C-alpha cells in the first residue's frame, strides 16, 4: 500500500475485496486521503454439485463504503482482476509446479518488470489501438524488444 500511495498524484477511489487485512493497510497508509470501499462476493453451495472440483455458486456482491466519498457505480475489482489474469496467463512464473516458477524473489521481480514494460510499451491494445504508454503520452512510438534490452543495459 505504501508503494501504491507514493505512485499516486491525486486522491483516488480504491476498492478491495473483503479481506480484513486491507482495512488496516489502507487506513495506515492513506488515513482519510482516499475514497475507499470493499466489494464482498457472496457464494453459496449447491447440495447436488460435485464438492471437490466444482466452484461454489456465485450469488452476488455486497458493496461496503469504508471512508471518503465513494461513487457506488465505480466500486469494482474487475480491472485489477483482469490485470491479474493477464499477468498470470502471460507469465507462467505465477503457476506453481512448473519449470518457470520463480525460486528467487529477485528473479520474480525482474520478470514482473519485464512483463509490464512489454505490456505497456510494446503491445498494442485492441481497445486503445496503441500502447498504454502512447495513450498516456509517455512515448510517441511503439517500443521493440531491443528498446527494453537497451534500457536494461544502462
pLDDT attached to residue 133: 96
Is the pLDDT assigned to residue 52 strictly greater than 80? no
Domain extent at residue 65: 2-74
93 & 40 share domain: no
Residue pointed to by grid coordinates 510499451: 121
pLDDT confidence bin for 154, thresholds 50/70/90: confident
Rounded to 5 degrees, φ, ψ at 139 are -150, 160
Per-residue pLDDT tens over the stretch 12-49? 999 999 999 999 999 999 998 999 999 999 988 766 66
Per-residue pLDDT tens over the stretch 92-150? 887 777 787 778 899 888 989 999 999 999 999 999 999 999 999 999 999 999 999 99
145 & 108 share domain: yes
- Answer whether residue 54 is part of any domain: yes
Contact 49, 39 (CB under 8 A): no
14 & 68 share domain: yes
Domain limit, last residue, from 39, 74, 109: 74
36 & 91 share domain: no
6 & 67 share domain: yes
66 & 92 share domain: no
Give residue 9's Cα distance to chain centre. Answer: 18
26 & 50 share domain: yes
- Answer whether residue 16 is part of any domain: yes
149 & 109 share domain: yes
- Answer whether residue 18 is part of any domain: yes
6 & 70 share domain: yes
59 & 92 share domain: no
67 & 25 share domain: yes
pTM: 0.70
- Answer whether residue 79 is part of any domain: no
Domain limit, last residue, from 41, 74, 107: 74
88 & 148 share domain: yes
Q: What is the domain count for the chain?
A: 2
Amino acid at each position: 500500500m505504501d508503494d501504491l500511495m507514493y505512485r499516486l498524484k491525486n486522491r483516488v477511489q480504491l476498492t478491495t475485496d473483503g479481506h480484513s487485512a486491507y482495512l488496516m493497510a489502507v487506513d495506515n497508509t492513506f488515513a482519510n486521503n482516499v475514497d475507499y470501499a470493499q466489494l464482498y462476493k457472496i457464494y453459496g453451495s449447491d447440495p447436488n454439485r460435485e464438492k471437490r472440483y466444482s466452484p461454489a455458486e456465485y450469488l452476488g456482491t455486497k458493496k461496503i463504503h469504508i471512508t471518503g466519498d465513494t461513487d457506488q457505480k465505480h466500486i469494482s475489482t474487475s480491472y485489477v482482476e483482469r490485470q491479474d489474469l493477464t499477468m498470470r496467463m502471460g507469465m507462467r512464473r505465477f503457476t506453481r509446479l512448473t519449470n518457470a516458477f520463480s525460486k528467487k524473489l529477485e528473479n520474480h521481480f525482474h520478470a514482473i518488470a519485464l512483463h509490464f514494460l512489454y505490456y505497456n510499451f510494446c503491445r498494442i491494445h485492441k481497445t486503445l489501438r496503441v500502447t498504454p504508454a502512447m495513450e498516456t503520452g509517455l512515448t510517441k512510438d511503439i517500443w521493440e524488444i531491443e528498446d527494453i534490452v537497451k534500457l536494461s543495459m544502462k
